[in-house]
Amino acid sequence: MANESANETARNIGPVILLGPPGAGKGTQSKQIVDRYGVPQISTGDLLRDHVGRGTELGLEAKAIMARGELVPDELMYGIVATRLREADCQRGFVLDGFPRTAAQAGWLDAFLEKEVFDNRSDKREKCPPVVIQLLVDYTQLLLRLTGRRSCPTCGRLYNIHSQPPLVDELCDVDGSKLVIRDDDRESVISGRLAAYETQTRRVADYYRAQRRLVAIHADRPMAEVTAQIFGVIGRRFQGGCQ
């Protein structure tokens, strides 16, 4: 098992893109991939919240947009994503969570990877186009996941009052901090988030489907089942030349 684990964390898995509406489990499944393959999770939501927390110019602008349940415009995203993907820990691959959200962003990402990643490799056999996995979840299940989601402001641990509640109501199991509701998980903005997904993000799935790169997985099944299917999709790419 140790040798198998070492082999997994030495492989070049390339980019992995998880698509799906808010509450589909992209963050949870991203962490499973990170643990297995030793590549970083790049969550644009986390990056934006970091900027908001630090009060940067981007953060102040993004805060107002996210509070309305709207998507951050492309021009605000490209610079922060490009800077993160150029870091050394992304060389073997990475998991993108929350990006691309539009067809235009998908096109930008393809161009970025071709120019700054694939063209700079001496071994062209290492070129691994993104694995694109779409997580499908029933609308009613999404509402339960989003309205029930809570997080610890101290350690970051996530809970759901419907499916994964804390041992003590509204308190973190780890440090006892009072759990909080993210601004964009409040009922007043959830409908806007889901509407934005329907009108914009589904076009990203169409973009990758046209390139025959899209794999759809029903994510309303038990988490371990969904994770196993995702690992199977990533594992199949090694048979196609990625090492």
Residues with a known catalytic role: 26, 101, 149, 182, 193
DSSP 11-29: S--EEEEEE--TTSSHHHH
- DSSP label of 200: I
In angstroms, the CA 80 to CA 157 distance is 25
Strands (E), the chain: 14-19, 41-43, 93-97, 131-136, 149-151, 158-160, 214-218
In angstroms, the CA 103 to CA 101 distance is 7
Residues β-bridged to residue 136: 218
Task: Using alpha carbons only, give the angle 156, 159, 163 rounded to the nearest 5 degrees.
Answer: 165
14 contacts 93 by C-beta, under 8 angstroms: yes
Which ranges of 155-240 does DSSP label H, i.e. alpha helix?
187-196, 202-210, 223-238
* Residue of 233, 13, 210 lying closest to 127 (CA atoms): 13
How far lies 19's CA from each of 25, 64, 100, in Å? 10, 24, 8
- DSSP label of 164: B
